Every structure is written in structure tokens, then in C-alpha cells.
Amino acid sequence: MGRHRGRYAEEPSGRSRRRRGRGGAFAALAAAMVIVVGLAVAGVYMFGQGDGCGGSDIELDVAVSPELGPALADVASDFNAEEHKVDNDCVRANVRQVDSANVAYKITGSGATMGDTESDVWIPDSSVWPRLVQSQSGDAVITETGTSLARSPLVLAELAEFAEADDGETTWMDVVPTAAPGEESDRTVRVVDPARSSSGLGTLYLLHGALEEASPDADTFNAHMTAALQSLHQGASADEDAAFLALSGGGAEAPPVMVMSEQAVWRYNAAHADAEAQPSYLSDGTYFLDYPYIVRSEDSDITRAAEVFRTAVRTDEAVQRFVDEGFRGPDGEVNGSVLTEETGFRTDEPAELPAPSEGSITELTRSWNQLKMDSRVLTIVDVSGSMLAEVPGTGLTRMQVAGAASAEGLQMFSDSSELGLWKFSTNVNNDLHYQEIAPIRELQATDDAGNAHRDVIGTALQGLEPLPQGDTALYETYLAAYQEMSRTYRPDRTNVVLMLTDGDNDNPGGLEFEDLMSQIDSLASPSRPIPIITIAFGPDVQNLEPLQEIAAATGGAAYMTEDPTEIGDIFLQAFSLRIADDGTEEE
């Protein structure tokens, strides 16, 4: 169904040509009178009714991603003035700017939403949103038309004054943050929260692919992916406004490298002439925002009206409006006077990488949200006599190496995470084999002396002293820790028991393994998971199997190394459990 410009004039004109051939001068005069009368009636109707469509308009509600909104509103204004019809009813397109994630989460019920998200036509910034809807709400009315209104590739954006000369190719592996929080990194990379932004979600997808290709095994991939997600988490901007502020240097830190769409960089520069950003293109390809035209109604009149408007937004005139606002057209059209080479843009289109599948979107969103949930960890450190043994080649005891590595591991947790610290051996606290050193509190909390809990934990870890005659009451301590975490369970956090030990269970007359497993089984609940993660180190660990069974029963993991200096790397692998495909990773 196409456009019908000037319909009132065209039909009478067609009739006049047919009659002129049959009736001579009188017929021609009569036809002319018909045209005049017809135009006069139409003119009276138009001016008398205001918009020429009477009171039976078909109102087409169009929800569009905000950055495309102004250009699409102009297209809709022209469309409405042209009085396109379905049967005898005029179609009026009413364009509203609505956040894409807002619409998706309203349909699926899987996230917070605000405002009116209902519409007849939905034009999100990316196809990832309707795919997410289809994967989570199969009965939702989502009709993909195959039409893309505009496109914009993801690029790196950095303040021009800090941007390095482009002397070579840059790949996603060059910019993926693989250093764990607290470690040095060449550059700070930031994204807009992937839970709310398709550019952020697209970034996760691209770095996932880059790391997967570069990693020799699953453990390495999981560890590096976790480090990347953690780093991105710490600097994620809540929305685009916050991203623009960070990019401009308006925050306390040095301006970062932002991943955003090419059109977003153009909009940023339009509003920040005093601190312009320079885009950088990735040599191994990128993901494109594609602004799909989605129909959300099954009503016959609405779907036909949506088809009429779809034709209008695909015209050359409409595409020109979009490319004039910094977008690329659906067939690669670009306005070189808008995306200028002088400011770092390229008119040639970068290579496009495949878009994420429904399964990838769901998995990446899950991974991000899992890390987004703050941790609540009870850390337990072995202080038995064997911890006095020296680690070959270091001049340090196992206790000193473990304490230093654990203190470094603290940097992996956000300030709002909750951590507590116990030590254990045998009879360390009267008749108890364990003792609380620091309660489970937020790391940003302060004690009566004004000391941050993070510092309290860090100091305590490095100040632990082994008991020369102490044995290893491992099973009693596991049970006491699991009971404590069950009693104080927080459903809004990831509740974890983290055990560091250099030996097997060694407590004659103490709790047996079968009794421990039985009691854990009685306490465990799928709706209240408390994984136990054990890091066993040193040559005194002879039997890892019991620790593996405890891990399997609780959804945790058991790691073993003879070198305590590897504990830092194992911390990262242990933390990657939160994004691993299954719940029991063993090593």
C-alpha cells in the first residue's frame, strides 16, 4: 500500500481524460465543471474539518528510541499533512520518544519500567530488544517487518585531546579490560549499563567473542571474562547522560574511553563543542544499532496503517532526514558533511559482526545481573601449624602468602559488598575450632574508630598468626559457617562461604564427613543457595575429593594448587563461578 499524495485531484482528473475522447467539447466542458466542483467541495471539507480527515482518523501510536525521535517526528509531520488513508480513514502517526529497555522490560516484566510503554509501532535502537522479548515472552505481539530505519556502528570515543594517533589497527582485544579491579590497566574503558543499553549489551557480546577466540581453555576464558565484567561494572554509566558527563571529564576521574554508537558521538560533539570526542573504529568489525520497525498490534486497521507509515519512513526523503542527524541509512547512506572526516568519522562503513542471538542476549544479561548483585562472603582462613611452613623461593610462610593474596582479592569486591572474616584450626576459641575476626558488614561501613571495614579486613588478613600446635578442624568449621550464612541469609545478595586451607581435615574424634554432608543437606535450599568455595594449597593437601563433594552439594567449587602464590589467580577463577555455565567448577 503506497503513498497517495493529492488523491482528491487525481481521481477526477483521470475521469476527465477518459470522457474527453468520447464526448467532444460539451463533454470536456462538463468534465471541467466536475473537476471544479470536486475541488471546491474538497476545499470546503478540508477547511471546514481542519485536517481533511473528519473524525474517523486512525491514530497510529509510534514509540521510538529517543535519539531517532526528532527526525522521525519530522517524517511523521509530513506524512500526516499528506493525508494517507486506509479505506476512507486518514492515518495519523503520533511519535513518542520512549526508552527501548523500558518497552522491553514492560512486556517481559523482567525489569523496572517508567511511563507509558504501550504503542502500535515500536522502533527500538536495536533488534536485541525484540529478540529479548521473544525469548522471554513468547506470546507477546511482536511482528518484525524486516525494515531498518537507520544504522549506527559501535565505536570507541575518547576526548580528542587525549586520543592517540591512529598509527595501527585496534581490535576488541586491545580495549577489553582484562585486569582485575585494583590492578593497573593501560586505559579505562566504560559502557552504559548493559541492562538498560543496547550499546552496552553489544559491547559485552563483542568482548565475549574476542575473549572466547583468544582463550586457550574454558577456565582462562571464564577468569578473563569475569575480570572484564567486573572492570566494566565499576565504571558503568547508568544512562547516556551519565556517559556523556564521564566522557567530558565532568567526573572526578580522568576521562575514560567510552563505547557508544557513532551517532551518539556525533550528538555528544554537537553539545560539547569545548570538549569534543574523537571516534575510533575497530579493525575486526563491530556491532550496529539497526532501529527495526516493529508492529505490536493485530488489529486490521492498525496493521494496515502501520504498513502505510512503514512505506513513508523508507522513502529517500525520510532516509535523508535520518542521515542528517548523524545516522547511517539502512543501505549505508551517509552524509559526509555531518559525519566529517575532520572530526575523525569515516564515511566508509566498518565491517559488521553478526548480532547476538536470543540465547546470547539472555546469557549475557544474566551474567551482568549476577555480577551486579553485591556479594556477601564469609571468608575463613586456616591458621593451623602447617601454615608456618615456608613457601619455596619466597622467604615467606604459607600464612603470609595467603594473607597477602587474600588482601589483594578484596579489591575484586565493590564497596557495597559485605564481607566477614573467620580463622580456624583446633580449639582457637576455647572449645570452638573457629573464631570471628571481623563481622559480615559492607566494606564501606566504618567502625567506632572511623576505620573502613575494607581496611579492617585487609589488616586482619595480613596479621593472622598460625597456631604452632593447631590441627585442621575443617568439617566443624564448614558446618558452622554454613549454619551462620543460612541463619543470616540475604536474598538480595550472592551469599558465599570462601575457605582457604593448606591441609586435609585433621581433627581426631571430630565431625565425620558423612555427618557434615547430612547436615548441609538438611539446611540447603535451592531458593537460598550458599555455595562453598574452597581454595586448597600446599603439598599437605592429599585428598581433594571431599572438598569437591562439598562444592557439588552446595553449587560451589574446589580449587587446588601446590603454590600459594597462585591464590590470586584462583580468586579470579572462583569469582567467575557467577558467570560460568554450570554451578560446579572443579580444578
Helices and strands, number each (H, E), in the chain: 18, 20
CA 244 to chain centre: 17
Distance in angstroms (rounded) separating the CA atoms of residues 295 and 124: 11
User: If DSSP codes are grouped into helix, strand and coil, which group holds residue 203?
Assistant: helix
* CATH homologous superfamily of 373-586: von Willebrand factor, type A domain (3.40.50.410)
| Residue-level pLDDT at 104 | 92
Q: Do residues 405 and 498 lie in contact, with contact meaning Cβ atoms separated by under 8 Å?
A: no
| Residue-level pLDDT at 237 | 86
| Residue-level pLDDT at 56 | 72
| Residue-level pLDDT at 521 | 94
Residue 204 has φ and ψ, to the nearest 5°, of -55, -40
What's the CATH class of domain 54-151+291-339? alpha beta
pTM for the full predicted model: 0.68
| Residue-level pLDDT at 335 | 97
* CATH homologous superfamily of 154-289+354-366: Periplasmic binding protein-like II (3.40.190.10)
pLDDT (tens digit, 9 = 90+) per residue, 470-494?
999 999 999 999 999 999 999 888 8
Q: What is the DSSP letter of 413?
A: S
pLDDT (tens digit, 9 = 90+) per residue, 43-101?
333 333 344 565 578 999 999 999 999 999 999 999 999 999 999 899 999 999 999 99
DSSP assignment of 133-161 equals HHHH-TTS--EEEEEE--BEEEEEEEETT
